[in-house]
Amino acid sequence: MTIEQQTENKLSDMPDDNGHFGQYGGMFVPETLMEPLDELNQAYINYFQDPEFLAELDNDLAHYVGRPSPLYFAERWSRELGGAKIYLKREDLNHTGAHKVNNTVGQMLLAKRMGKTRIIAETGAGQHGVATATVAARLGLECVVYMGAEDIQRQALNVYRMKLLGAQVVSVESGSRTLKDALNEAMRDWVTNIDRTFYIIGTAAGPHPYPAMVRDFQAVIGREAREQSMQHEGRLPDALVACIGGGSNAIGLFYPFVDDQEVSMYGVEAAGHGLETGQHAAPLCAGKPGVLHGNRTYLMEDKHGQIIPTHSVSAGLDYPGVGPEHSWLKDIGRANYVSVTDEEALSGFHDLTRIEGIMPALESSHAMAYVKKLAPTMDKDQFIVVNLSGRGDKDIHTVATIDGIEF
Amino acid sequence: MSRIKGCFAQLKQEHKKALIPYVAAGDPNPEITVDLMHAMVASGADIIELGVPFSDPMADGPVIQKASERALVYGTSLSDVLAMVKTFRLTNNDTPVVLMGYLNPIEVMGYECFAKAAHDAGVDGVLTVDIPPEEAQSYIPALRACELDPIFLLSPTTTKDRMTIICQYASGFVYYVSVKGVTGTSALDTDEVAKRLAVIKEVTDLPIGVGFGIKNAETAAAVGQVADAVVVGSALVNLVEQNARSLSNEEGNKKITADISQVLVSMRTALDV
């Protein structure tokens, strides 16, 4: 490599051809999946250069998803916090109510072009399951969604939505009966039904090419936010804030800004009952690197390398791993990873609802809770873009139960 | 010569096929494992595949998932498994032992530290389900430095080009996964397996083991017609589950050992006909 080429290397050039972000990422899967992943990678590389594919994707994002999503200036909340201006990237206004659909629309177009007739997915909070069932319904494809038995109880509304959309929801009873176990089960299904099945992973994790591919489908969030920041403020934001479970909404917002060193980035993990209690879902803040679900990344594990149970009030953040690109951005110091507790997240939920009339998902409420801490430390002429990744309707039951209300 | 290589060389001389039973270490309790290993050898096992329990066994079907869960109730760790092999070696210096499991426990211990400990305990080969050769640039040398055979899987989706690459890195034997699917899957098509093995034999002289879907003496014998080794896992672990549920530890362990021995004897007999 010449010196000229080296100076041209940007953070946004990652991953390498084998899906590595530094020491993270990669393809740690059973042999049966290596060929199918290679086939998927080829399709991903080819179609991302195909103008016809990209035009169809843009058309679906505009007319089916409802993009671009607004960048809304939360004026009253900004005034109340007394620091930086706060802009909300309104992914909650997308069809199906969260950012997840950006990715499922994209992967479904790939599935169609690859001639796959059966769609599978894993889901935690149910948002990705609903987004997958939605696009499968639209194309009339068979759809099976794996969901932890624990999550099925917590997210009954989304389970019913998926069923209405014609998906089969399979309750996963193994392990901790949450998102990680749903992912294991979906992988097992994929290995078994590889020929006609397309596995739509919902987050920017898993084996290569998923972390890069999901990021590229979600990066529409950051591209729009960039343009909208220029329209509103005539410059790039001072800080970006997003919640992190697997990290797809965060990487979608961050990625188009990674080469702009003046833009700070904050990924907010779920501290659950508090990092010190061990009952949380914050691998970047309190975990160690390891290998799970096809990639090397920060994990929550015990000293023997067993994955340990996680806790978060929000089912969508209740995952012991995280997308490998976040692990890399942490290690090189490009992004900051912080955490807020269940209690803080709930206060974020209530504040945004009360002050702006917008009810955020409990996942997104973690990002709101961190904005409450960050904004007052910044100047009034600075501004933050926070990803409001999903709407809170699905969580009303959980919030009510915590508040001691029975219906 | 490594124990695995020696084992296959001797079987070849005797025109016999290797019988490789799999059990998960510590399933249904840690007390059973070493005795069960000895009993399996006495019943005709040539190589023992010992499962290292993992919290997220994504390539395994429900039977072996539950085996991992039962073993983890007792906290059976990779270090504990190595200690079991060490105890087994006190009275058996001949039967090769292959560890089968997932990468993360080995990552946490560190490749070099693990390889040294495994060699010292008397382990002969390591089959890590979720590390393809592409990701194994430091893993393979660490194993080789301690005279451990890296065992790799080949599957129905593996192209001939990939087979060639994988077989360059493998030693001891290669393990052909007979079906697309997880462990414990039902249907195994012997004709299809025979076709695939013919292709594998074009790219390597290593012995070929076949596993996934071998249920009884009949399927073992059929696969033994075309393969060098027959791996049986879920059919044995099923017997653990049945007895662990209904009996106390002591009675259960006796019954499990007896039942597994009986199945192995029937497979051995069928293979040797």
Q: What is the ipTM of this complex?
A: 0.96
Q: Which residue's entry shows tokens 């508090």?
A: A274
Encoding tokens for residue A283? 């691998």
Chain B residue closest in CA terms to A178: B56
Contact A291/B107, CB-based, under 8 Å?
Answer: yes
CA-to-CA separations, A340 to A49, A182, A242, A334, B114, in angstroms, rounded? 40, 25, 12, 20, 37
Residue A8: the pLDDT is 64
Q: How far apart are CA A34 and CA B162, in angstroms?
A: 9
Q: How many CB pairs under 8 A join A and B?
A: 127
The rounded radius of gyration (Å) of the Cα atoms in chain A is: 20
CB atoms within 10 A of CB A373: 16
Residue A3: the pLDDT is 45
| Residue in A34, A293, A306 nearest the CB of B132 | A34
Encoding tokens for residue A38? 């290679």
Which of B66, B68, B131, B157 should we substitute to test contact with A (largest number of A Cβ atoms within 10 Å)? B157
What SS3 string covers A10-76?
CHHHCCCCCCEECCEEEEECCHHHHHHHHHHHHHHHHHCCCHHHHHHHHHHHHHHHCCCCCEEECHH
Whole-number average pLDDT of chain B:
95
Contact A305/B106, CB-based, under 8 Å?
Answer: yes
Name the CATH topology of B3-272: TIM Barrel (3.20.20)
Chain B neighbors of A26, CB-CB under 8 A? 134-135
The answer to whether B46 and B269 have CB atoms below 8 angstroms apart is no
Chain B residue closest in CA terms to A29: B130
Closest CA to A348 of A388, A317, A309: A388
Contact A194/B61, CB-based, under 8 Å?
Answer: no
CA-to-CA separations, B221 to B197, B225, B226, B257, B273, in angstroms, rounded? 16, 6, 9, 22, 9
Contact A30/B159, CB-based, under 8 Å?
Answer: no
| Adjacent-strand bridge partners of B128 | B101
Helices and strands (H and E) in chain B: how many: 12, 9
Q: How far apart are CA A146 and CA A189, in angstroms?
A: 10
Q: Which residues of A lie closer than 8 Å to B, measured between beta carbons?
A: 18, 26-36, 174-175, 180-181, 183-184, 187-188, 191-195, 288-294, 296, 299, 301, 303-308
pLDDT at B113 over 70: yes
The answer to whether B127 and B135 have CB atoms below 8 angstroms apart is no
Contact B55/A290, CB-based, under 8 Å?
Answer: no
Q: Which residue has the higher pLDDT, A9 or B23?
A: B23
Residue A4: the pLDDT is 47
Encoding tokens for residue B153? 């899987």
Closest CA to A116 of A104, A107, A126: A107
Q: Is B69 considered catalytic here?
A: no
H runs (alpha helix) in A261-392 = 283-286, 324-331, 342-356, 362-374
Q: Which residues of chain A have pLDDT under 50?
A: 1-7
| Residue in B72, B106, B162 nearest the CB of A306 | B72
Chain B residue closest in CA terms to A184: B58
Encoding tokens for residue A34? 């290596």
Contact B181/A192, CB-based, under 8 Å?
Answer: yes
Q: Where are the domains of chain B?
A: 3-272
| Residue in A31, A195, A294 nearest the CB of B158 | A31
Q: How far apart are CA B40 and CA B26, in angstroms?
A: 15
Chain B residue closest in CA terms to A297: B104
Contact B157/A35, CB-based, under 8 Å?
Answer: yes
Residue tagged active-site, from B27, B46, B60, B149: B60
Question: What residues contact B92, with CB distance under 8 A and at least 6 apart?
Answer: B37, B38, B41
| Residue in B56, B103, B182 nearest the CB of A180 | B56
Structure confidence at residue B248 as a pLDDT band (50, 70, 90)? confident
Chain A neighbors of B153, CB-CB under 8 A? 30-32
Q: How far apart are CA A125 and CA A119, in angstroms?
A: 19
Residue tagged active-site, from B49, B124, B149, B228: B49
Q: Is A389 considered catalytic here?
A: yes
**DSSP conformation class of A334:** S
The rounded radius of gyration (Å) of the Cα atoms in chain B is: 17
What is the pTM for the complete model shown? 0.96
Residue A2: the pLDDT is 43
Residue A150: the pLDDT is 87
| Residue in B65, B159, B185 nearest the CB of A174 | B65
Whole-number average pLDDT of chain A:
95
Q: How far apart are CA A395 and CA B120, in angstroms?
A: 54
Predicted confidence (pLDDT) per residue in B36-65, tens digit: 999 999 999 999 999 999 999 999 999 999
Q: How far apart are CA B55 and CA A185, in angstroms?
A: 13
Closest CA to A254 of A334, A196, A308, A188: A334
| Adjacent-strand bridge partners of B127 | B100, B151
% of residues, chain B, pLDDT over 90 = 90
> Strand order of the sheet with strand B149-151?
B149-151, B125-128, B97-101, B48-51, B18-24, B229-232, B208-211, B174-177, B153-154
The answer to whether A239 and A264 have CB atoms below 8 angstroms apart is yes
Peptide bond between residue A209 and the one before it cis (omega within 30 degrees of 0): yes
